[in-house]
Structure 1
Amino acid sequence: MTSPDDDTPAADGSQPATAYDWVGGDAAVRALVDRFYDLMDLEPGYAALRAAHPPDLSSARDKLYWFLSGWLGGPSHYIERFGHPRLRARHMPFSIGILERDQWLACMAQAMQELALDPVLQERLQKAFFQTADWMRNKGV
């Protein structure tokens, strides 16, 4: 599973300790996840992605927040609750193709942009998200 490297300085030249710090810490990770799921609910362009989720997104919101916190270099909330993420295995019951992957990536990119994350960080996260999202695909299209 690919995570963002922490050796590239922010656009202002400062060196964040982790991508978690660069994002803005706990409240910023929660805000990013909440915006991601709000957009999934609001934007017609994410309909296939939304259809892959249950009507109530509260559990998905918490799990993504817990996962991203640790993945970005912050607290390991997800691992403390569930153990190793085993992302691919946990997502196998869901049909994930290129459409779902691309909608997930676009939705996250929009959330990051709307929350005005550093453009350098956005680019690095998008690359890492792409590698992980592409690895999660379990159908050809």
Structure 2
Amino acid sequence: MKKNYALNQLSEIAKDVINTSKHKVLLFYGEMGVGKTTLIKEIVKQLHVIDNVSSPTFSLVNEYLSKDGDKVYHFDFYRINNEEEALDMGVEEYFYSNCWCLVEWPNKIENLLPLNAVAITITANDNQLRTIELKNNE
């Protein structure tokens, strides 16, 4: 899937991401400020999370609960210094929990990422639009 979208289409894009993802580990790639967290917040909303959603920049992971009792994990590895920090927090257990795992800055833990994941790249265009490209990795 590759699409251009504006901010007012975020809900539709989030639904597309959920519906076209073959795996529950979503890896978000893109420059600082491109809208990764904004899209993740909308995806979490579409997954019917009842908790307050915020970026886990300092905690590395936030756990949210949906109205159905399902867990959703939101990771932000921007401030991580090495992959050992991610291992120490048990990142592999999260990835193989069969829960939604939404990962910002996955390039910081490249060697720990599951093979079965969805790579989502967001790029900013000159006209206030964003381009999203989704690839299901097998």
Is this a same-fold pair by TM over 0.5?
A: no
TM-score for both structures, normalised by structure 1 = 0.31
Choose between structure 1 and 2: higher strand proportion. 2
